[in-house]
Amino acid sequence: MIGDTSYVTAVAIARDGKRAISDSSDHTLKIWDTDSGTEQRTVTGHTNSVTAVAIAPDSKIAISASWDKTIKIWDLDSGKELSTLIVDTSSVKAVVIAPDSKQAIFALGLDGLQIWDLDSGRELRTLTRYTSYVNAVAITPDGLTVIAASDRTLKIWDIHSGNEQRTLTGHAWSVEGVAITPDGKRAVSASDDRTLKVWDIHSGIELRTLAGHTWSVKGVAITPDGKRAVSASYDKTLKIWDLDSGRELTTLIGHTDRVWAVAIAPDGLQAISCSEDNTLKVWDLLSGKEVASFSGDYGFDCCAIAPDGVTVVAGDRSGRVHFLRLEGVSSDR
């Protein structure tokens, strides 16, 4: 679907699976019906590029961040702007929303993290002590702990007190992504140093290093059972890892340019990857085989899989948002 008129840098799908939202550097967001792939409305109000977007777990509101130094809260049903939050930086790189849909955490570039109450639109606290940009943020399933990646480190914070619990060190270059296992016990970080690391969140101990990529690792996703991770790299490959042993299970080969992101289906059997080679690829995670490929006219920067495990939403650099269905896609094709 032709939606925005410039880069689509992020997409999000509501937990109820009914709608998706995409951001763009043309200052707008678009809300989509995931069943039909039709645009429901264009949301305007930002005055500069939109850099991050998220949908609350209750599927009622969406949050966007922009270079215009604002964060906006939107009603997902009507597209109405509910609140505008003013921040001191234009470099908001990530937004996450707590599982109870009551709080949001924003990565504010060099200014660290801010936690906001979504009902009142009030800033609750700022978490600082950063000397470099915060690149990625993840929140534990219980909503009590947030992990933020910056430069070569990750910091673990208690959301309610705002206290830093520990700093995780070990990466040699910038940490670009972080994911948390469904049980909230382990985190996996992806770095420009070509490795991933598995961490014990409670103790802060590095459990193992996952080495094998030959260029920067830009994305990581964890299977719903928490046993495997899939990493996406500039080396044109994805790798499947066993998190208990740290063993590389297989390398997914097929892309011909940088792989930017990966998403895993809710059943943990398939993953989708998006690449600068203008393709989206579907992978069988048991066999390691490529089972489907979609080619566009421009590179893909972002992708997501709906809770039904069938609908895929991806954004490309021309402003198009693509809706794909995985029905009948299997390793036996």
Spatial separation of the C-alpha atoms in residues 234 and 236, rounded to whole Å: 5
**pLDDT score of 6:** 59
**pLDDT score of 236:** 98
Write the DSSP string, 166-231. Answer: EEE---SS-EEEEEE-TTSSEEEEEETTSEEEEEETTT--EEEEEE--SS-EEEEEE-TTSSEEEE
Reading the block at residue 84, the tokens are: 């505008």
**pLDDT score of 328:** 67
| Mean pLDDT per 10-residue interval, the chain, length 333 residues | 60 95 89 92 92 94 92 94 83 89 87 88 83 88 94 93 94 96 98 98 97 98 98 98 98 98 96 97 97 94 94 92 80 45
Q: CA 20 from chain center: how many Å?
A: 14
Query: Using alpha carbons only, what angle is made at residue 12 by residues 71 and 244, rounded to the nearest 5 degrees?
Result: 110
Region of 124 please: left (phi>0), alpha (psi -120 to 50) or beta. Answer: alpha
Query: Using alpha carbons only, what angle is made at residue 32 by residues 31 and 37, rounded to the nearest 5 degrees?
Result: 165
**pLDDT score of 24:** 81
**pLDDT score of 333:** 40
**pLDDT score of 272:** 97
Reading the block at residue 272, the tokens are: 């989708």
**pLDDT score of 108:** 80
Q: HSE (CB half, 13 Å, CA atoms) of 191? A: 26
